[in-house]
Amino acid sequence: QVELVQSGAEVKKPGASVKVSCKASGYTFTGHYMHWVRQAPGQGLEWMGRISPNSGGTNYAQKFQGRVTMTRDTSINTAYMELSRMRSDDTAVYYCARNSELGTRSGVDYWGQGTLVTVSS
């Protein structure tokens, strides 16, 4: 069965960076884009971008351009999302989510359990 297991909660100071990992199992890792989505307290889900585990190619939401970097390590079926120059409003639960097997336009189908990142001085 498809499973996405994310790294644990983080507490960071303003201006710092965080790197969240997402280990995939139960399917061919290189066969599906991996998306990153976040949810701030009391807010809706927000798409941050996606990475092709096959090529390493990325597409980032304009809001995060210049601050987010998505990478992957195919040897261990793991995707990473690094967010830099963090502010208090980056406090959120960050999710990885697998692209639907139906194609890039059909959204995501499986989600990780989420990683709480708290930005506080």
Partner 1 sequence: QSALTQPASVSGSPGQSITISCTGTSSDVGGYNYVSWYQHHPGKAPKLMIYDVSNRPSGVSNRFSGSKSGNTASLTISGLQAEDEADYSCSSYTSTSTLVFGTGTKVTVL
The binding site for partner 1 (CB under 8 A) comprises 4, 35, 37, 43-47, 50, 59, 61-62, 95, 97, 100, 102, 104-114
Minimum separation from the CB atom of position 45 to partner 1 (A): 4
Nearer to partner 1 by C-beta: 70 or 108? 108
Nearer to partner 1 by C-beta: 55 or 75? 55
Q: Where are the beta strands (DSSP E) in 7-60?
A: 10-12, 18-25, 34-39, 45-51, 58-60
Minimum separation from the CB atom of position 82 to partner 1 (A): 19
For residue 65, give both structure tokens: 């351009």
- CB crowding 56-71: b at 16 or more within 10 Å, else e: eeeebeeebeebbbbe
